[in-house]
Amino acid sequence: MKKVLESINPAERRPDWLAGLEQFLADIQQADLESRKTKQFHQRIWEDNPVSSVGMGTVDISAAIDDPGFRAWLAEESFKPLGDTSQARIARLRALYDEIVERLKAFSNRTPHVKIFRVLAALFPRYITTVADRQKALACHRALFGKRKKPGAVQRQVEIRERIDQLLGPYGDTPEELAARMTYGWFIYVDYADTQHGSPPDDTKIVQDPDLKPLPAAQRRKGLTSIRGGLDTLASALSFVMEGVTREDLLDFLRAEFPDHRDSSLRTLINILKNEFYVIQEVDGVVSPTPRGELFIETGEAEELIPPLLTRILGVDHVLVALAKEPLSTGELLALLKQVNPGWTSDFAPRAMLKWLRDFGLMQVDGLGVYSLTGSGQSWAGEIKWQPECLEPLDNGEVIDTPLTEAQLDVGQLDQGVLIEAVVQGAAFLPSLVQQLHIGLWANPRRHFAILAGLSGSGKTLLARRYASAIAAQFIDNPEKNVFIQAVQPGWYDPAPLFGYINPLMPDSYVRPPLLDFLLTAARHPDQPFTVILDEMNLSHPEQYFAPVLSSMESGERLRLHNEGDSFDGVPSTIAYPANVAFIGTVNMDETTHGLSDKVLDRAFTLEFWHVNLDDYPRWQNHGLNPADIAIVRACLGDLLQALAPERLHFGWRTVEDVLSYLALASQGNDFDLISALDDVVYARVLPKLRGSESNRLHEALQKTITVLQTHGLQRSRDKVKTLQADLTDTGMMRFWR
């Protein structure tokens, strides 16, 4: 981690942000007690605070800023000493944080956690980081300490700063030094912590409280499942998995908690915790809390779980928006929710949602059964800046796959030239590749299934998305409606995550995943092309979770959803296999994925993405680098590709894009050195994937890579590869991460 920190230069990474932060801290340092009591000062630290350069939080605390008593109290607290020891500082800052939270309750119905940490960072820049978001701070803390320590939010901040200071050494109290040091936490999150769970964020946008981003209605989960015990059950299960347990351990715990429940009901409960409330995750067979779940346990505040309810659960935003206008009776709310989802033909699912919204403290009901928003509910309703969407009517919930037209899709009528041009424009895809995908998908009259395999970052998902939008655009004005991206999750052992299931906890209701509604919509529009993209489809075994589709696309038989009569809770027992739907799966082959069986491969048109030709990359000129620098970078990356490709350790377009973006930002610094910056980014973005065991080909690839790095002057990267080469010689295996 010391090397990671030493490789970070905040002045190069975010010069504009750093400059604004330096001036801000200088102004804070110069403000005396009387200045800190003013409304202008508080407006600056609460609402115009550059600790994070985008977004000032969504909780309205203008009443607190207007209050002279609150301003005077905080001004006086800001001058009180924190103590000489780490324990004393943590205790003092925690007490101050808690007191701020308590005092703000008089002015706001929600707790502005992000704003509070920004203010603490402004007042105590030596002890608080710029990572104001508590989930991101937790990820940053784990990057430094692992999962062994579980401190509170304030202690977490102090420990991050202490660890960074320990690794980097002492520094001064000037605004310049303070600003630079307090940003290291954010760059650790960007470069290290967040990459453990997916692609890193764009560190040019220091976004820590982005606006809520709602999913389309068709992609949302259909309702909230009723759970005995409500939030207490969530908290109990989360407490049990805090240290990480197996799924079977969690089942044993739930069996003890609910001895009258069947195992199928308990497995459903696990799925609810995972996919409705997003509080647990399952990685490599270990169940543990998500950062959101950890914060819920840490704070005991149900507010931590509300954002995904608003943006990912169908109907929640409708209820809050409606109640923000006027109180409504139980019957009126049930009718509203049935309009939102015509598939809800009974009251079970809507009533379960209303109960959850009461449990979350968003609304209240009087003795006459009339609902109104609580203060918290009013505040969250104010965050809904979008128009809530409804699902399409479903013919009274009965035969919902009945086509609206007798016309059938005819892909022969589309203009292939226009299609190919739309896909390749501005991207590094060869027209011949797009043509192969198109013909391979539609050559069979019913079996439209392709698999895109190969190098991570080579554009597989981008190609699938572009193709899906381009083909739909030749038939409808809003092509994105006909594209569905399903992120496959580990641990899918049956089709339920895709096609739904009868809810064991509510036997009269059917849990309808978004993909099911998408396929039903496709069945109703047989004259339009629809595309389902199964992203990273081999994180689970496709022959298990995708079995009904694999069978029906071959036989032409109807897809069976359940055995409860012709229709159950608005869902037919079977639906006709939609021959107007193309399925495109993307796969990566590594230690986290599964191989593909012959049953899958026999039905798929397969394209491999291993060849990367830098001449095909279209955005060399889009990053502001001068032609001479571009030529150097291009030559270096090209030589690295040639050295690493025989062992399939090379890189794709995502890495090329990231290298150029890094260099473009670095070039804005006064002491920019191309070779040094190129060395840093190659070390960070190319070398971490190097791994393998004894073979002549791997030895040859490493030697060629060392030669390339030496030729181009990338000394730090060269030295690292030499250590890998030595490991391979000594132990018969090597990997970047030791």
Same domain, 480 and 588: yes
**What does the pLDDT average to over 32-50?**
92
Among candidate residues 196, 229, 264, the one where a domain is terminated: 196
Same domain, 625 and 517: no
Which CATH number fits the domain that encloses residue 444? 3.40.50.300
With a cut of 80, say whether residue 467 has pLDDT above it. yes
- How far does the chain reach from its first CA to its final CA, in angstroms? 12
Among candidate residues 609, 625, 643, the one where a domain is terminated: 609
Domain that holds residue 550: 411-609
Same domain, 382 and 475: no
Same domain, 569 and 710: no
With a cut of 70, say whether residue 194 has pLDDT above it. no
Compute CA 601 distance to the chain's CA centroid, rounded to the nearest angstrom. Answer: 30
Q: What is the pLDDT of residues 533-569, one digit of tens each?
A: 999 999 999 999 999 999 999 888 888 887 776 667 7
Question: Residue 211's pLDDT is what?
Answer: 53
With a cut of 70, say whether residue 622 has pLDDT above it. yes
With H, G, I as helix, E, B as strand and everything else as coil, classify residue 364: strand
Task: Specify if 65 maps to a domain.
Answer: yes
Give the list of residues 6+ apart from residue 368 with CB closer than 8 angstroms, or none: 329
Task: Specify if 205 maps to a domain.
Answer: no
Task: Specify if 401 maps to a domain.
Answer: no
Task: Specify if 150 maps to a domain.
Answer: yes
Same domain, 575 and 650: no
Task: Specify if 396 maps to a domain.
Answer: no
Same domain, 512 and 601: yes
With a cut of 70, say whether residue 41 has pLDDT above it. yes
0.75 exceeded by pTM? no
How many structural domains are present in the chain?
4
Q: What is the pLDDT of residues 361-412, one digit of tens each?
A: 999 988 888 999 998 898 889 889 899 999 877 544 444 455 666 668 888 8
Same domain, 192 and 228: no
Separate counts of helices (H) and strands (E) for the chain: 35, 19
Same domain, 134 and 221: no
Cα–Cα distances in angstroms (integers) from residue 598 to residues 359, 455, 533, 604, in the given order: 49, 21, 20, 10
Rounded CA-CA distance 170/178 in Å is: 11
Task: Specify if 138 maps to a domain.
Answer: yes
Q: What is the pLDDT of residues 413-450, one digit of tens each?
A: 788 899 999 988 877 788 888 999 999 999 998 899 99
DSSP single-letter state for residue 449: E
Helix axes 113-123, 134-145, angle to 10 degrees: 60
**What does the pLDDT average to over 134-143?**
81
In sequence order, what DSSP letters do the residues of 484-531 get, joined into one string?
EEEE--TT--SSHHHH-EE-TTSTT-EE--HHHHHHHHHHH-TTS-EE
Task: Specify if 400 maps to a domain.
Answer: no
Task: Specify if 301 maps to a domain.
Answer: yes
Same domain, 333 and 353: yes
Closest by CA to 27, choosing from 9, 39, 41, is 41
Same domain, 23 and 91: yes
Same domain, 418 and 539: yes
Question: Residue 209's pLDDT is what?
Answer: 43
DSSP single-letter state for residue 107: T
Same domain, 118 and 133: yes
In sequence order, what DSSP letters do the residues of 156-221 get, joined into one string?
HHHHHHHHHHHHH----SSHHHHHHHHTHHHHHIIIIIGGGSSSPP-TTS-BSSPPP-PPPGGGSB
With H, G, I as helix, E, B as strand and everything else as coil, classify residue 305: helix
